[in-house]
Amino acid sequence: MPDVRALKERIERREYTVGVIGLGYVGLPLVLRFGEVGFRVVGFDVDPAKVKQLGEGSSYIQHIPTERVSALARSGLFQATADLGRLNEPDALIICVPTPLTRQREPDLQYVERTADAIARTLRPGQLVCLESTTYPGTTEEVLLPRFTARGLGVGEHFFLAFSPEREDPANAHFTTATIPKVLGGVTPACLELAGALYAQVVDKVVPVSSTRVAEAAKILENVYRAVNIALVNELKVAFDRMGVDIWEVIDAAKTKPFGFQAFYPGPGLGGHCIPIDPFYLTWKAREYGVATRFIELAGEINSAMPAYVVQRLVDALNARGKPLHGARVLVLGVAYKRDTGDARESPGIKILDLLLAKGAQAEYSDPYFPRLPRGRHSTLAMDSAELSAESLGRYDAVLLVTDHSAFPYALIHEASSLIVDSRNAFRQRGLTGKHVVPA
């Protein structure tokens, strides 16, 4: 039977190998962090192109410098592989695979389940498995645990199982993997102790909780909180617009209160892998217990309606100038879901492009992070990013700002464009106003 104290001593001596499954926006920062403090790391991914690129010391994620990846590759501490038959090699396996929704807006756990099945085939005594993928409360014990104990291994005795929600915020200069507190729940006290000892080597603060369910629920709460509050300001934006009241000025005034208020901002819709998706994991699970999560579902409806609202604001602005949307040349600024990132997952910019094209507009886009639209689950459009110049901007009937990248030449756009529809308040924040700048 594995000795937890001996395993902790191996962790402290860095005589412990960490495996990270899923080398995307969550997994790759973990790989780098563990490798940079001296752990041997094996990265697993089913995409051979990612494995090859990382093996060559190159980063494929915009905000993660290639220099960090190449330095780790040169150190000899990191290997990337697509061979899941090697899952028995690491002492710890951290699961960072996607947890999307199905077309019916229900949890799609196929990637977690496939990963768990692969681990179960090679699981050996002493291994620690930690799930980081965001999911509903109960997943670790209901989906992973039965697969791992089916071969007769006991949790907390022969192997260890925990859940620690990822809290990555791509391109956030103020918080990193190391400085964001790490919530952690274990299936047993021994599981919590060993996982806590491992994470304590790479993060400043580990926050232990009483169970994996609490840890799973904490991440869902974080994202539900944001989704509901964003939906609130989006709804208020629509109401205040009808009243002739500027929502941005209202928020600026309200946030001067030093207590009892936190500013959230409206936008063209939600994007990313967390806020548009994770709350529906809880909605689905709550139905199992006969609970209707009405706030979550209403927030989802409001936020999902925002791309159409922004397009309607564009239609109204064009109509006021005697121009129909059908046949109009429209430039969408930004297809990333978030400012200054190369991440288009669930992006409202792509949804807005789809809506514009469906309504007969001659729509194009410009985004410094996407020279060409990424083909895949989040986009089926084949389109190249348009260059921004005074001449090219003058050819569009309207420019629609969706993602407020700091790299955009706002003064040039303001001067050269005949109509700007701004869903982020980016132009006014820079003192660029006028009758041709319309909020959305």
Q: What confidence tens digit (pLDDT) does each residue in 284-331 have? A: 999 999 999 999 999 999 999 999 999 999 999 999 999 999 999 999
Share of the chain above pLDDT 90, in %: 88
- Residue 4 CB neighbours (<10 A): 18
Higher per-residue pLDDT: 201 or 378? 201
3-state secondary structure 312-329: HHHHHHHHCCCCCCCCCE
Same domain for 157 and 285, yes or no, is: no
95 bridge partner residues: 21, 131
Helices 27-36 and 66-75 sit at what angle, rounded to 10 degrees?
Answer: 50
* Secondary element (H or E) of residue 287: helix 278-288
pLDDT the model gives residue 351: 94
Same domain for 11 and 142, yes or no, is: yes
Parallel, antiparallel, or unpaired: how do β-strands 92-95 and 17-21 relate? parallel
CB hemisphere CA count around 375 (13 angstroms): 4
What backbone phi and psi angles, to 5 degrees, belong to 286?
-65, -30
Block residue for tokens 């030449």? 409
Encode burial over 277-314: b for 16+ CB neighbours within 10 A, e otherwise: bbbbbbbbbeeeeeeebeebeebbebbbebbebbbebb
**Pairwise CA distance, residues 440 & 85, whole Å:** 51
DSSP state for residue 155 in the 8-state scheme: B
Higher per-residue pLDDT: 361 or 73? 361
In a domain, 266, yes or no: yes
**Pairwise CA distance, residues 353 & 331, whole Å:** 9
Q: What confidence tens digit (pLDDT) does each residue in 4-50 have? A: 999 999 999 999 999 999 999 999 999 999 999 999 999 999 999 99
Q: Which of 170, 189, 210 is the last residue of a domain?
A: 210
Catalytically annotated residue among 96, 130, 191, 274: 274
- Residue 203 CB neighbours (<10 A): 20
372, two tokens: 């060409």
Q: Which of 210, 241, 271 is the last residue of a domain?
A: 210
Q: What confidence tens digit (pLDDT) does each residue in 147-186 have? A: 999 989 999 999 999 999 999 888 788 899 999 999 999 9
In a domain, 375, yes or no: yes
* Secondary element (H or E) of residue 95: strand 92-95
pLDDT the model gives residue 81: 97
The domain tally of the chain equals 2
Residue 62's pLDDT band (boundaries 50, 70, 90)? Answer: confident
pLDDT the model gives residue 232: 97
Residue-averaged pLDDT of the chain: 95
Same domain for 159 and 42, yes or no, is: yes
Q: Which of 210, 245, 280 is the last residue of a domain?
A: 210
CATH number where 202 lies: 3.40.50.720
pLDDT the model gives residue 381: 74
In a domain, 226, yes or no: no
Higher per-residue pLDDT: 381 or 373? 373
Contacts of 303 (CB under 8 A, 6+ apart): 227, 230, 231, 234, 269, 270, 276
Same domain for 353 and 423, yes or no, is: yes
pLDDT greater than 60 at residue 377: no
Q: Give the domain extent around 65.
A: 4-210
Share of the chain above pLDDT 70, in %: 99
123, two tokens: 């699981």
285-291 long-range CB contacts below 8 Å, 24 or more apart?
285/107, 285/136, 285/137, 285/138
Please say whether the beta carbons of 343 and 310 come within 8 A. Answer: no
pLDDT the model gives residue 225: 96
Residue 143's pLDDT band (boundaries 50, 70, 90)? Answer: very high
Same domain for 80 and 202, yes or no, is: yes
- Mean pLDDT for 278-283 is 92
pLDDT the model gives residue 272: 84
In a domain, 217, yes or no: no
pLDDT greater than 60 at residue 234: yes
- Mean pLDDT for 53-59 is 91
In a domain, 376, yes or no: yes
Q: What confidence tens digit (pLDDT) does each residue in 13-22 have? A: 999 999 999 9
In a domain, 292, yes or no: yes
pLDDT the model gives residue 276: 86
**Pairwise CA distance, residues 56 & 45, whole Å:** 15
pLDDT the model gives residue 380: 63
404, two tokens: 């407020």
pLDDT the model gives residue 36: 94
The torsion defined by the Cα of 317, 321, 324 and 330, in degrees rounded to 10, comes to -60
Tell me whether residue 130 is one of the annotated catalytic residues. no
pLDDT greater than 60 at residue 204: yes
Same domain for 288 and 433, yes or no, is: yes
Helices 66-75 and 48-55 sit at what angle, rounded to 10 degrees?
Answer: 70
**Pairwise CA distance, residues 22 & 190, whole Å:** 26
Q: What confidence tens digit (pLDDT) does each residue in 292-302 have? A: 999 999 999 99
- Mean pLDDT for 184-189 is 98
Same domain for 264 and 206, yes or no, is: no
- Mean pLDDT for 385-391 is 96
Same domain for 70 and 136, yes or no, is: yes
pLDDT the model gives residue 104: 86
Please say whether the beta carbons of 228 and 198 come within 8 A. Answer: no
Same domain for 264 and 203, yes or no, is: no
Same domain for 270 and 167, yes or no, is: no
161 bridge partner residues: 129
3-class state of residue 130 by DSSP: strand
**Pairwise CA distance, residues 235 & 248, whole Å:** 13
pLDDT the model gives residue 173: 80
Alpha-carbon distances of 9 from 41, 194, 200, rounded to whole Å: 18, 10, 13
Same domain for 147 and 266, yes or no, is: no
- Mean pLDDT for 90-109 is 94
Residue 379's pLDDT band (boundaries 50, 70, 90)? Answer: low
Same domain for 200 and 268, yes or no, is: no
